[in-house]
Amino acid sequence: MTVFVLTIALVLLLLGILGSIIPGLPGPPISYTGILVIHFFTEIQFSSTFLWAWGIVVALVFILDYTLQSWGVAKFGGGRYSTIGTFIGLFIGLFVPPLGLLLGPFIGAFIGALVEVKGAHSRALKVALGSLVGFVSGAVLKLSVSLALLFYSIYFIWL
């Protein structure tokens, strides 16, 4: 039974890593669920401090993930259309992985910014770069947390 539970937990941890890269899947919360499965359904126990600390980290990263891209667009001068373009580009980019995941939000923000500023290409490019910076920052943050949770779980399993 323990092998079955650990297999489910490992699948969740790996799915969390994928979710850190693929928008729409909440990577760190899925990884954290894997940790909870190990803790509650096997004899392997994580400390309460570990569980609470990582729970808070996962919650903060989850919130930051949804704000970093919008922040990047706004910080680099984008507005409502740029933000909408970013999310539309992100959705379309899902169908052309992995390059579409980077180029989709960039192109969407660029087109949205062009609509907002009526042909100011240099400003639209700046907004699109802000979108890209926000997306990549969020992905790196989520991936870091999901990988850390995977490595901690492997460490505790073989400890």
Note the pLDDT tens digit of each residue in 6-42: 999 999 999 999 998 877 788 999 999 999 999 999 9
Does residue 98 have a cis bond before it (omega within 30 degrees)?
yes
CA-CA-CA-CA torsion for 53, 29, 17, 26, nearest 10 degrees?
-140
Work out the burial of residue 46: count CB atoms within 10 Å of its CB; fewer than 13 is exposed, 13-18 middle, 19 or more buried: middle
Residues 120-142 pLDDT 10s:
788 888 888 887 788 788 889 99
Residues 29-39 pLDDT 10s:
999 999 999 99
Q: How confident is the model at residue 119 (pLDDT cuts 50, 70, 90)?
A: low
* Whole-number average pLDDT of the chain: 88
**The dihedral of CA 106, 108, 110, 116: what is its sign?**
negative
**How far are the Cα atoms of 10, 31, 50, 69, 105 from residue 152, in angstroms, in the given order?**
12, 11, 10, 28, 32
